Amino acid sequence: MTDITGVLAKADTNLDASLERLFDLVRIPSISTDPAYKDACRKAAEWLVADLQGLGFTASVRDTPGHPMVVAHHEGATTDAPHVLFYGHYDVQPVDPLSLWETDPFTPSVRELSPGRKVITGRGTSDDKGQLMTFVEACRAYKETHGSLPCRVTVLFEGEEESGSPSLKPFLTANAKELKADYALVCDTGMWDSETPAISAGLRGLVGEEVVVTAADRDLHSGMFGGAAANPIHILSRILAGLHDETGRVTLNGFYDGVEETPTQIKAAWETLGQTAEKMLGEIGLAVPSGEEGRSVLELIWARPTAEVNGITGGYTGEGFKTVIASKASAKISFRLVGQQDPDAIRTAFRDYVRAHIPADCSVEFHEHGGSPAIQLPYDSSLLNTAKSALSDEWPKAAVIIGMGGSIPIVGDFQKMLGMESLLVGFGLSDDRIHSPNEKYDLQSFHKGIRSWVRILDALAAAR
């Protein structure tokens, strides 16, 4: 194991310069979804390449049909050093509405949010430029102290994460041999709280479906046809209501195939975090828990599958009132998956269920909106435990192993396409306002994030 005392000290003395480099990157308005910022996205990629080359990486901008990738490589201190692939994204969300920003979104600064709490302001500071630069700066501190890195490192930064990553899968396929490593490191997640680092062991998968029910061949007068003609809004409402039983369980045939119970010791550890349904729901103006009965709120959002209706349309929804029986009604439904649930099987079960409840003189059509399986690392994974110990040495409170209610498709791609487990460690906080005006990143998150990656890289090398 390398003596990292000097590396950590270097990370501390480098902090002001590290901030200036982050500021330079944040000043580039790399909004991937808006074609007007195409040149800015390339400029951000080129900036990262130049910065990595300055650290001794072999780095290059790789063109895609969309915004370019950044790929870089650096050898480890020894020939048998573990190989890690670090992933991040340099693109950012649009800043609208600009009028709600307290400062210019692309003029970053450090300001005091409250006594003793300083934050870095600007679009992308948390999602994901500040996060990815914690890793780059950790590599810088290592190189400046020891002249080498403890692990063999490959870096992959993309520029389309905020616009659906259309170029990513083709790029992984075309460059699989070059990008494959022992495991992937992903820094696009968050901490449990400002003093407690977190490692995400699970990500829920996703199935998106849009269903359209058609009855009559035109909208009908509800006085002339009401009570006699089928109403697609009624039909669809009954179908959607039937997706759950009275205990909150999803009713689709085979829906829970592949769903395993969370280990007792993990649920016990989650209980110590102090989150309750009343506390969580109170923050959003609710009070009564929903979902499966007998489950804690953290288990529900981290380890259980769901079926949620995301939108319903049909009939007249404009100003005033119109007595009409709609010809069509539609809904958008998302299923969050866990464990070994099969996205294709869930989609098929949903469509079979809907078709079974459509009257003979009505019709239904479906539109697919993506699907990906869940990702679950073993809770006793040596990779998780190594990183957990390293993080616990850096932060005031011991690291916790958590789940994530959302989905990060790249993690599934790394597992399925490159055969790599992913370590999800991030330093964002719940109040970072990502995707919203006034995005920020705590200065402590940035500083201790750098130190954390120093410790993790050292621990991974020592565990080899």
The answer to whether the Cα torsion of 300, 311, 235, 237 is positive or negative is: positive
- Do 254 and 129 share a domain, yes or no? no
Would residue 338 count as lying in a domain? yes
For residue 127, the tally of other CB atoms under 10 A from its CB is 24
Q: Is the pLDDT of residue 190 over 90?
A: yes
- Which one of 372, 390, 405 terminates a domain? 372
91 conformational bin, left if phi > 0, alpha if psi -120 to 50, beta if neither: beta
How many independent structural domains does the chain possess? 2
CA-nearest of 39, 19, 36 to 28 is 39
- Do 214 and 172 share a domain, yes or no? no
- Do 220 and 352 share a domain, yes or no? yes
pTM above 0.75, yes or no: yes
Q: What does the pLDDT average to over 349-353?
A: 98
pLDDT at residue 405, rounded to an integer: 83
Q: What does the pLDDT average to over 176-198?
A: 95
What is the rounded CA–CA span in Å between residue 308 and residue 332? 9
What is the rounded CA–CA span in Å between residue 395 and residue 393? 6
- Do 222 and 168 share a domain, yes or no? no
* Reported confidence tier of residue 412, pLDDT bands at 50, 70, 90: confident
DSSP H or E run through 365: strand 363-372
- Do 246 and 144 share a domain, yes or no? no
* Reported confidence tier of residue 110, pLDDT bands at 50, 70, 90: very high
What is the rounded CA–CA span in Å between residue 126 and residue 247? 38
For residue 436, give its domain range: 5-203+375-463
The answer to whether 215 and 229 have CB atoms below 8 angstroms apart is yes
- Do 81 and 39 share a domain, yes or no? yes
pLDDT at residue 304, rounded to an integer: 96
- Do 380 and 366 share a domain, yes or no? no
- Do 350 and 401 share a domain, yes or no? no
Condensed to tens digits (0 to 9), the pLDDT of residues 8-50 reads 999 999 999 999 999 999 999 999 999 999 999 999 999 999 9
Using CB atoms within 10 Å of the CB of residue 177, give its burial: 0 to 12 exposed, 13 to 18 middle, 19+ buried.
Answer: exposed
pLDDT at residue 371, rounded to an integer: 87
Would residue 89 count as lying in a domain? yes
- Which one of 332, 357, 372 terminates a domain? 372
- Do 218 and 135 share a domain, yes or no? no
Condensed to tens digits (0 to 9), the pLDDT of residues 302-319 reads 999 999 999 999 999 999
- Do 363 and 250 share a domain, yes or no? yes
For residue 42, the tally of other CB atoms under 10 A from its CB is 17
Q: Two tokens at 25?
A: 């990157």
pLDDT at residue 288, rounded to an integer: 87
- Do 197 and 314 share a domain, yes or no? no
Q: Report the chain's mean pLDDT, rounded to a whole number.
A: 95
Would residue 182 count as lying in a domain? yes
Instruction: Determine phi and psi for 27, rounding to 5 degrees.
Output: -65, -15
* CATH code of the domain containing 445: 3.40.630.10
Would residue 300 count as lying in a domain? no
Q: Is the pLDDT of residue 65 over 80?
A: yes
Would residue 452 count as lying in a domain? yes
pLDDT at residue 359, rounded to an integer: 97
Would residue 251 count as lying in a domain? yes
Condensed to tens digits (0 to 9), the pLDDT of residues 119-175 reads 999 999 999 999 999 999 999 999 999 999 999 999 999 999 999 899 999 999 999
Condensed to tens digits (0 to 9), the pLDDT of residues 418-440 reads 999 999 999 999 899 999 999 99
Q: Is the pLDDT of residue 1 over 60?
A: no
Radius of gyration of the chain from Cα atoms? 25
Would residue 284 count as lying in a domain? no
* Reported confidence tier of residue 241, pLDDT bands at 50, 70, 90: very high
Indicate the DSSP class of residue 263: P
- Do 23 and 170 share a domain, yes or no? yes
- Which one of 319, 340, 372 terminates a domain? 372
CA-nearest of 375, 384, 440, 439 to 407 is 375
The answer to whether 120 and 435 have CB atoms below 8 angstroms apart is no
* CATH code of the domain containing 331: 3.30.70.360
Would residue 280 count as lying in a domain? no
CA-nearest of 436, 435, 405, 427 to 193 is 427
pLDDT at residue 378, rounded to an integer: 85
